[in-house]
Chain A
Amino acid sequence: MAPTRRDFLKRSGFATASMMVPSFLKASIPILPGDVRPKVFVVIQFTGGNDGLNCIVPIGNDIYYKSRPNIGYKKEELIRLSDDIGMNASLQGLADLFYDGNVVLINNVGYPNPNRSHFRSMDIWQTASDEDTYLQTGWIGRLLDHHCTTGNCVMPHYAVEIDDSLSLALKGSTISGFAVRNPDQLKNVNTNPFLDHVARHYTGGSHVHNNVEYLHKLLTDTTNSTDYIFEQSKKYTTAVPYPANEFGNQLKTIANLINAETNTSVYYVSLSGFDTHALQRNQQERQLKIYADGLKAFVTDLKNTGKFKDTLIMTFSEFGRRVEENAGKGTDHGTANNVYLIGGGLKQGGMINEMPDLSKLVDDDLVYQTDFRHIYATILDKWLQVDAKTILGNDFKPMDFL
């Protein structure tokens, strides 16, 4: 019988995973001066174009009710954030955190010359490109690249996406992030013991082909990240109940990894179902509830273990939706949207800019006020401690929420 993978670990002097950890710490993420351990950044992507105007609602705005006679929310249906601002009742979990001062709401976030194609607009958000530029790397991917060029090369698991495949956001030019749906499946990943051996014993040979070296390095990095994330996922199991749906499970996976003090700086997860062209209310409410209930459990979990102060969560979507409802009691693709930032390290919770001005639309759509890259720049500079310009190319002035 062929030796198992674990046999190899022992035989090859690779030892057990717990013995591996210190070398990983040394080899990967630099511990910054003044930091006990690195901060964690979690991205929650709403896929399909979430209707922000029905999430944060301008109560008593005539244009809103005139534009949305069927799908507009009445005052009494909403959670009151202030006299003239309401929150969708399905976002109760987010509202609770808002009252605790753990949420920053930013309105009218977008970019110049908005693109109304899901694909293109999502690429723009994930690559942080200009509207007319096509980048092949994501902004998180370039963060991984940056660590390599500054001599602190990180492992793929520096940025983990909870999914079977990797989003463009996490793809760099020299190194990309690590995708895993369920860490339990990782133990079966290298079912071919021969490959496992190859991954651990490549010494280099051919210098004719850079791509041979590249694939072997990628395989070795991947195998190491696979081992590491699998071992980390066994270290901590939460007692906090999460909603029994896939998104809840994904957030639970992230929380377990954070609570196991995993050497991962960025986590990425998506929730889809927001392309509400018809009968929007039910569908959007269902997705918002999945989001907010999962989020509430996640934050409770991290608060219990004291990790929340080092965690920042950003929620965005590729665009908002048209102000006026369509004939199918839904909404079509729009432009500017709101972004939610949730964390224990925010300067001060609250809504930090004006609600959209529904009397000043362009092509029937909201006008953006804040370029999303200012939010990215803030997170890069003030949370992940990286010079944002090296990642974003241009100077985007950091904002004040951190």
Chain B
Amino acid sequence: MPAPQKHVQHLYLRAGFGETPMVIKQKMAYDINKLVDDLFNDAKQYRNLTYLEDPTRGKEVSNLRVLLLFLKSPEQMRSLNNAWMDMMASTKAVLREKMTLFWHDHFATSTQFAWLMQVQNNTLRKHALGKFDKMLHAVAKDPAMIIYLNNQQNKKDAPNENFAREVMELFTLGEGNVYTEKDIKEAARAFTGWTVNKKGDFEFVAKEHDDGEKTFLGRTGNFNGEEIINILLEEKGTARYVTRKIYKEFVNEEVDEARVDALSAVFFDSGYDISKLMRAIFTAEWFYSEENMGSLVASPVDLITRFRRMIKMEFKEDKAQLNLQKVLGQTLFFPPNVAGWPGGRNWVDSSTLLLRMQIPTRIIKGGGFDIKPKPEFEDAPEDEIALRTSKKANVQSDWSALVNHFKKFPKEELIPQVLEAFIQSPKNHIDQSLIETYVDNSSDEKRVLSTIGIVMSLPEFQLI
């Protein structure tokens, strides 16, 4: 059965970053289940981020070298950020990138070591649609995570609880669920000796490891870190916590708890198969209900990527794309803290909403963005002055394909067609005659372009 336009758009906005009306039109010939299959198949053909080469070349480095890596890092982080943004804007494996973005938020990490961040990003990408248990084990041994959550300092004689706490509070069970402060202390002992060596790789240092008896979640044994993680995975609460978070991110922030119960059973019974869970969501009838379509506030990365895919928006400088992310409140590789981005309505406030709504008209007018992000903590005053006086962040874009697509419709169908293509929430309150008053009728071209610009400026365009 051919899929309705709105459903196809919904699927590609949630499982990807949106597609052009031209692509949507082609997809509408197929059944939703077939489109979901295609998304999973396309997700197999992915590329890793390869922007940086291993600076250690697999050899041990001296501290000086580490210092040099560190000093070069701000530019490298900027380039890595852009490399990932470019990947999301150009890849066919949209579902894999969308999931990688989700896990980047779930396992939020921020270090100054660009190379290690690239390694972690590729680890998340590898497991993004695989098994959650494998991913959790990999993340626990991920060098950037170990550095970020101080497991370098977690030693037999002086345990550091940071990783043990967050693995339960944020990565598996959720805050205050089942575990106690005592469980955190015991788990921390099990992770002692998990560290990063001078090659930048995970290393288990046996002499720093506490191999004594531990009591964790009611069980007693000489547990090591892997065993602690396995115990956490045996808890159904882990499946439910992760499923609920996925539901809020991919379906609706207002959670239907009964549905989450059912989905989390699918997730747990499949042995934490992420693809099974996502497929269950994307093929469910309720996923395409009116209450779910157009209900989520697009994240800044969703929004920027949607524009990039829709009108081939390109930034003339790396810094411009980074600044736009900063000002909108989501910079890849720089989550605010280990809890990740708050998301949802937190994405918009008075200044970011106005900026978001002005993006299309500013691009059309070729004005670019005169935006000034807050200075970095480390900036010297000279850097700040340079930042504040930097030129407008100019962008290039190509609207011709979109304009040609909508030019084919009769004049009276133009506004309804553009609304249908770009607004997913209910449209009954949108006054079409009002839109008409503001359309530039000086030429066919301008009529279509200005209609698109106006519709993309509606607050409802921020909802996907």
Contact = CB atoms under 8 A, between A and B. Distances in A.
Interface of A: 2, 47-49, 118-120, 122-123, 132, 134, 136, 156, 163-168, 171, 176-181, 189-195, 197-198, 202-206, 208-212, 214-216, 218-219, 221-222, 225-226, 246, 270, 272-273, 275, 283, 286-287, 318
B337 A119 contact: yes
A189 B454 CA distance: 15
Interface in B354-387: 354, 357-358, 361, 371-381, 384
B391 interface: no
A272 B379 contact: yes
A119 B110 contact: yes
B326 to A, nearest CB: 8
B459 A216 contact: yes
Contact of B361 (A156, A181, A191, A283): A191
Contact of B294 (A165, A204, A209, A275): A209
B327 interface: yes
A123 B377 contact: no
Nearest to B360: A192
B336 A211 contact: no
B339 interface: yes
Q: Which 5 A-B pairs have the closest CB atoms?
A: A205-B429, A118-B377, A273-B381, A215-B459, A222-B350
A166 B337 contact: no
Nearest to B338: A134
Given A205-B428, A206-B426, A166 B460 contact: no
11 contacts: A123-B336, A134-B338, A164-B371, A197-B434, A198-B434, A208-B290, A209-B425, A211-B295, A211-B425, A211-B463, A212-B425
B75 interface: no
Contact of B438 (A2, A167, A212, A215): A2
Nearest to B430: A205
Nearest to A275: B378
B348 interface: yes
A47 B375 contact: yes
B443 interface: no
Interface residues of B, number: 58
B345 interface: yes
B295 A209 contact: yes
Interface in B274-301: 290-291, 294-297
A270 B376 CA distance: 12
Contact of A221 (B350, B378, B428): B350
A121 B311 CA distance: 40
A136 B339 CA distance: 10
Nearest to B424: A209
Main secondary structure of the interface of B (DSSP, over half): loop
B346 interface: yes
A91 B190 CA distance: 51
Contacts of A211: 253, 295-297, 345, 425, 463
B338 to A, nearest CB: 7
Nearest to B340: A134
B294 to A, nearest CB: 7
Contact of B377 (A48, A171, A216, A218): A48
A203 B429 contact: yes
A270 B375 CA distance: 10
A258 B303 CA distance: 37
Interface string B412-439: 0000000000000110110000110110
Contacts of A273: 375, 379-381, 384
Contacts of B297: 211, 215
Interface in B430-464: 434-435, 437-438, 454, 457-460, 462-463
Nearest to B326: A165
B254 interface: yes
Given A118-B377, A136-B346, A215-B460, A164 B351 contact: yes
Contacts of A197: 434, 438
Contacts of A222: 350, 353-354
A209 B345 CA distance: 13
B55 interface: no
Contacts of B361: 191-192
A5 to B, nearest CB: 12
Given A118-B378, A194-B457, A195-B357, 8 more contacts: A134-B338, A165-B374, A180-B351, A197-B434, A202-B429, A211-B296, A212-B425, A212-B463
Contacts of A2: 437-438
Contacts of A178: 350-351
A138 B342 CA distance: 13
A145 to B, nearest CB: 12
A218 B454 CA distance: 19
Nearest to A205: B429
Contacts of B358: 191-192
Nearest to A277: B378
B165 interface: yes
Given A132-B165, A275-B378, A123 B457 contact: no
